[in-house]
Amino acid sequence: MKKLFFLLFPLLVFGNMAKPWMDGSQHSTLYGVGNASVKSEVIDIRLVKEPVDEIYFADYTIKYRVYSPQKQTLPLLFIAINLYDNTEVKVSGVSKKIELIDIEKKKYPFIQQDETGFFVQYSHSDKVSVDPNSLLYFSADLVEGDNIIEVKYDANLEFNTYGFIKNYKLEYSLYPSKFWKSFGPIDINLILDNGVEFKDSNLGDEKKEKNILKWKIDPQNHENMTIEVSEKTSFISKILLFLNPFGIAVLSLIAMSFIHFKLMKRNTKMYILVLGIVLVPILFYVIYLLSFDLIDFSLGKRFTKHGYVFLYVVTYPILLLFYWILMLLIFRRIKRNQNPASS
């Protein structure tokens, strides 16, 4: 029965041989080695639409207020998988050269290797496995007292490759914060573009100021930051997306079946039965297929591809058979009720 149900309504089954999402960049707060402390961190994230592919990416500006008990040069690094090439780092206003880790040409005292691979050792009990090719490294010349380290870069967002609208997820690892001598609160400011809306996060309740969402968190309570947004939709689009094409088609099928039933009650001629049996299943599929265009139109989109149309066409005879049996039984009952003497 379950197999038959999916044959009848294959639109309930989503088949996609390709990967249904695109991975986002992986990045983290700074790894610090030494006796310095991060007094605070401010993460400004601006969502920007790429003009050609019209896909959003995240423009990060991150400021660390680092306290150093003495003048020292501190090696700093952070995870940077699939970041754009325009990364910029400043220490107290001075631009710093960023270098990719080349473990074959140079030795780094903060990166070690064992039989399991490479890792960064922070203490006797704490170490983090790393891929040297995914680390950005720079040295920070710190003065005694407070120092401002500013990091800017653009990162990809994870997003789905199917459906009517794109849902985006940005992730940022906070786990390295535990390896500093101490790490203060983190302020997170998400600046939304007019084309996106906030959906969810793991950061707790947010404060909203115009198009900016704000959080203040303790990094010791979070190993990572996750924020989800989606393309902004109108009220009408939200209703249509909630119903989805199948829901719209089913509601239409119910309405058309009711009209067919009323017509058969008024006129028990055979042509009324046959005409409804032929037209209603056809209109069900027509409405289902056109509802994709209707939803795309409500979203202001064009030429969106959705699923495998031939699967729906192939199932028309099955729906026709079920509808024919159901309406024939109803038609006979109506005739018996209207002509009790002939039964």
Mean pLDDT score, 235-264:
91
**216 and 281, same domain (yes or no):** no
**213 and 273, same domain (yes or no):** no
Tell whether the model's pLDDT for residue 198 goes beyond 80: yes
Mean pLDDT score, 199-206:
90
d(CA 257, CA 263): 10
Tell whether the model's pLDDT for residue 13 goes beyond 50: no
Specify if 334 maps to a domain: yes
End position of a domain, from candidates 173, 203, 231: 231
User: pLDDT tens digits, residue range 36-61?
Assistant: 888 999 999 999 888 877 888 889 99
Tell whether the model's pLDDT for residue 74 goes beyond 70: yes
Question: What one-character-per-residue DSSP string does 171-219 give?
Answer: EEE-GGGGGSS-B--EEEEEE--TTEEEEEESS---EEETTEEEEEE-G
Q: What is the pLDDT of residue 309?
A: 57
Specify if 17 maps to a domain: no
**30 and 145, same domain (yes or no):** yes
Helix axes 270-298, 316-338, angle to 10 degrees: 130
**48 and 191, same domain (yes or no):** yes
Task: Name every residue whose Cβ is closer than 8 Å to that of residue 249 and which is 6 or more positions away in sequence.
Answer: 284, 285, 287, 288, 291
Tell whether the model's pLDDT for residue 17 goes beyond 50: no
More confident residue, 147 or 13: 147
216 - beta bridge partners? 187
Mean pLDDT of the chain: 80
More confident residue, 205 or 1: 205
**152 and 251, same domain (yes or no):** no
User: pLDDT tens digits, residue range 185-197?
Assistant: 999 999 998 888 9
Residues above pLDDT 90, as percent of the chain? 17
Mean pLDDT score, 110-123:
72
End position of a domain, from candidates 199, 231, 263: 231
Range of the domain at 315: 235-342
Specify if 14 maps to a domain: no
**276 and 218, same domain (yes or no):** no
**110 and 124, same domain (yes or no):** yes
Specify if 276 maps to a domain: yes
Q: How many domains does the chain have?
A: 2
End position of a domain, from candidates 231, 263, 295: 231
CATH at 190: 2.60.40.3680
**289 and 255, same domain (yes or no):** yes
**185 and 43, same domain (yes or no):** yes
Specify if 16 maps to a domain: no
**101 and 246, same domain (yes or no):** no
Fill in the amino acid letter for 203: L
Tell whether the model's pLDDT for residue 237 goes beyond 50: yes
Specify if 10 maps to a domain: no
**116 and 265, same domain (yes or no):** no
Of the candidates 294, 282, 39, which has an alpha carbon nearest to the alpha carbon of residue 148? Answer: 39
C-alpha distances (whole Å) from 332 to each of 115, 120, 199, 261, 271 are 79, 79, 52, 12, 14
Specify if 64 maps to a domain: yes
Specify if 87 maps to a domain: yes
**211 and 276, same domain (yes or no):** no
